[in-house]
Structure formats: structure tokens, C-alpha cells
């Protein structure tokens, strides 16, 4: 599907879902602002169309301080996936993911009715459900905003704030993979949203664990040529992995940044690149080689590797070796970040 055609899609989606009195909206596990906002937008549209009950659900939890502030300040509600009886819903919609992905708690083979996503992996061309997967669009929030616009559904300020933040975060402040639709929605939402609330979301209070994780990140980072690897060891939310990847990727002269951490017998990893357009491909290769999975966009990728009786350090080292090879820096020395650029002391004079 190309990124420009929305005419008619809303009608086809409406036909695929209605009539229904209850709809379950499933996002990927450990949700980010884009999928949370897209789910809220679809829920709003379904309510506008007369659906009695539209429930958002996901596996895992919201970890990042900004995202927790978003959920709290915008009053989002969601049901933990474990507590949801999927059979009790008339329809199921998957948002910001595709069925069968490892980042989705929905059991493989569960019949779904619609899918909205913007990732490049496996658009479900022959899928037996309504799908709108547009890899050329920067955020699923954009896709949902276009549907709301096309359906002439009013967007309240709280939802506009969420959708704006979803687009903002998924496009890196409109700095990567931006389509004309992303810009159009950004402008539309800018006039509808609550800017003070957004400022409070973007500058949240943080708990001490954030700073302990930051400390581990700082002391663990190894630089090898133009690539850096941060290892967080055990994290209390996989969100820290993406968050620290973003932060440490601002290091001067780094082309690639890999961050990994352990959560519940899985090594979660995030990868970033500055000029290359292969982060998603790299994440897929890293995941596959170590017995897990990965994917993403041109500048941002992520994945998950089950430890399967291996020690966290064993998997971390396997990933690190493989990444050095994939990035062509295997022959370069590894240096701790904290030793980078430290002036060498002159050798003490012989006495």
C-alpha cells in the first residue's frame, strides 16, 4: 500500500469491524508512546462509530518515565494481557505490530480482524483480515490520525496530545523517516493538543532505579571503532534498553550504538545508527544469529533473545562478537567509554 492513499480505506476498515459491540486492541509488549496513542485513537474512533466497549491490552508494562507520565496525565486505561479473555470480544485489532511477531502476546494463530502498522517486516499481503501496513510512514499514530480525519471524527485535546507525542517519539522529533502525512498530522495535532501537558510528559520525575541504570550504562560502555556497546545487565524494565541506546547514541563520532539488558530470561537489545540505513536489518541479523528475533526501521532497531539456559554474559558476548563482525570493526581494539579521550600521563622520568 502506498503512503498517500487513504481514500476508501476508512470505509473498508469500518466494514471489517462493524457491527461489533466489543473490540480488543492489542499493542506490542512493553508499549511505547506511538502504539499507546494509536490504540487510544482507534478506541476513540470505534466509540465514535457506536462500539460499546473498546479495550486496549498489551503484555509487559509501561516502563519509561516519560511513557508512565503520558499514561497518567492523559488518563489512559489498559487491561493487562494476562487478565483479558480474548474470546469474549467480537473483534481483535493489532496495532503497531503484526500477528506472529515475538513482541506480541497474542498467541500465534489467533484470528484477528484488522492490523495497523508501519514496520517494514513482512507486510501481510495475503492476510485474511483488514490490514494497513505502511513502512513509508513514520508512526502508527499518523496512520490512525489520518483515519480519524478521513472519518470526520473530532479529536479531543487529550488524544491529540498523545498522537502528537507518538509521532514525535517514533520519528525522533521529525528527524527520521518522515512522510508528508506525518507532517500533515503533526501540524493538525499541534493546534488541538495541550502543550503544557506534553511538557510535563517530556520532563517527568524519575525514580532512583533510572540513575542506578544510568550508572551501569556509563561504566559498561565499550567503544570499538565507530561502534559502542552498552550492557545494562538486569533491568527492572526493558524500556531502559531503548532509553539508554538513545542517550548513548549522542556520543560524538559514534555511527552505531548497541544497548542490551536482561529481563526475565531474555536479552533485550536496541540498536541505533546515524548515517547508515540498516538498523532494522542489523537487528534482525543479530536476533537470528543468537536464537531470537529482531527488526525495526532504518535508523532504529530492536530485538529479543531468549537465554535458553545460557548465562546472560555468554549471550551478551556472543551478540557483541557478532555485532563487531557485522559492522566490520572486529579488528579494532575495544576501549571503555570512560577511558576515551583521557590524556595519557607522561611516563615518569627514570631515576
d(CA 346, CA 258): 34
Q: Which residue is nearest to Mn ion (CB)?
A: 34
Residue (113 or 170) nearer to Mn ion, CB: 170
Choices 1-9, 132-140, 214-222, 330-338; region in contact with Mn ion by CB under 5 A: 132-140
Judged by beta carbon, residue 167 or residue 221, the one nearer Mn ion is: 167
CA distance 301 to 3: 21
What is the helix (H) or strand (E) element at residue 188, kind and residue range?
helix 180-190
CB closer to Mn ion out of 144 and 221: 144
CA dist 70 → 163, 167, 216, 283 (Å): 11, 14, 26, 28
Rounded to 10 degrees, the C-alpha dihedral 304/140/26/238 comes to 30
Which cell goes with 200? 510535563
Query: Hey, what's the cell of 186?
Result: 503533526
Phi, psi dihedral angles at 55 (to 5 degrees): -115, 130
Element (H, E) at 142: helix 140-150
Interaction between residue 29 and Mn ion (CB under 5 A):
no
Binding segment toward Mn ion, per CB under 5 A, in 65-73, 140-148, 206-214, 217-225:
140-148
Q: How far is CA 310 from the centre of its chain?
A: 26
Shortest Å, Cβ 297 to Mn ion: 9
Between 170 and 239, CB nearer to Mn ion: 170
Segment lying near Mn ion (by CB under 5 A), choices 139-147, 156-164, 173-181, 284-292: 139-147
End-to-end CA distance of the chain: 76
Site membership for Mn ion, residue 132 (CB under 5 A): no
Least spacing, CB of residue 230 vs Mn ion, in Å: 23
Q: How many residues bind Mn ion (CB under 5 A)?
A: 4
Any alpha helices (H) in 87-128, and if so which ranges? none
Going by C-alpha positions, the residue among 237, 186, 181 that lies closest to residue 209 is 237
Q: Which of residues 75-104 bind Mn ion (CB under 5 A)?
A: 96
- Which one, 213 or 270, has the nearer CB to Mn ion? 270
Binding-site member from 10, 26, 28, 34 for Mn ion (CB under 5 A): 34
Separation CA 201–CA 17 (nearest Å):
33
CB nearer to Mn ion: give 184 or 255: 184
- Applying the rule CB under 5 A, the residues between 165 and 204 that interact with Mn ion are 170
Residues near Mn ion, by CB under 5 A: 34, 96, 140, 170
Amino acid at each position: 500500500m502506498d503512503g498517500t492513499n487513504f481514500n476508501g480505506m476508512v470505509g473498508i476498515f469500518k466494514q471489517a469491524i462493524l457491527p461489533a459491540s466489543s473490540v480488543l486492541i492489542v499493542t506490542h509488549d512493553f508499549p511505547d508512546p506511538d502504539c499507546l496513542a494509536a490504540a487510544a485513537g482507534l478506541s476513540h474512533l470505534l466509540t465514535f462509530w457506536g462500539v460499546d466497549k473498546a479495550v486496549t491490552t498489551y503484555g509487559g508494562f509501561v516502563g519509561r518515565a516519560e511513557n508512565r507520565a503520558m499514561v497518567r496525565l492523559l488518563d489512559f486505561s489498559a487491561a493487562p494481557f494476562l487478565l483479558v479473555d480474548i474470546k469474549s470480544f467480537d473483534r481483535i485489532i493489532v496495532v503497531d505490530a503484526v500477528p506472529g511477531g515475538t513482541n506480541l502476546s497474542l498467541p500465534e494463530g489467533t484470528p484477528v480482524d484488522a492490523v495497523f502498522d508501519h514496520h517494514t517486516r513482512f507486510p501481510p499481503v495475503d492476510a485474511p483480515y483488514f490490514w494497513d501496513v505502511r513502512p513509508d510512514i513514520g508512526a502508527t499514530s499518523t496512520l490512525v490520525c489520518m483515519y480519524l480525519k478521513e472519518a470526520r471524527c473530532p479529536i479531543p485535546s487529550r488524544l491529540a496530545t498523545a498522537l502528537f507525542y507518538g509521532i514525535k517519539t517514533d520519528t525522533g522529533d521529525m528527524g527520521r523517516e518522515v512522510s508528508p502525512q506525518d507532517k500533515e498530522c503533526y501540524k493538525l495535532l499541534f493546534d488541538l493538543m495541550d502543550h503544557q501537558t506534553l511538557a510535563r510528559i517530556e520532563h517527568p520525575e524519575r525514580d532512583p532505579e533510572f540513575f542506578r541504570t544510568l550508572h551501569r550504562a556509563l561504566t559498561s560502555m565499550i567503544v570499538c571503532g565507530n561502534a559502542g556497546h552498552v550492557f545494562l545487565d538486569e533491568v527492572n524494565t526493558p524500556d531502559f534498553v531503548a532509553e539508554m541506546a538513545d542517550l548513548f547514541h549522542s556520543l560524538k563520532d559514534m555511527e552505531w550504538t548497541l544497548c542490551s539488558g536482561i529481563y526475565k530470561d531474555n536479552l533485550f537489545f536496541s540498536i541505533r545508527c546515524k548515517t547508515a540505513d540498516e538498523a532494522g536489518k542489523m537487528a534482525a541479523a543479530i536476533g537470528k544469529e543468537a536464537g531470537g528475533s529482531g527488526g525495526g526501521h532504518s535508523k532504529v532497531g530492536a530485538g529479543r533473545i531468549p537465554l535458553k539456559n545460557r548465562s546472560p554474559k555468554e549471550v551478551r558476548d556472543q551478540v557483541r562478537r557478532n555485532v563487531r563482525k557485522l559492522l566490520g570493526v572486529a579488528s579494532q581494539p575495544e576501549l571503555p567509554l570512560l577511558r576515551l579521550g583521557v590524556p595519557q600521563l607522561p611516563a615518569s622520568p627514570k631515576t
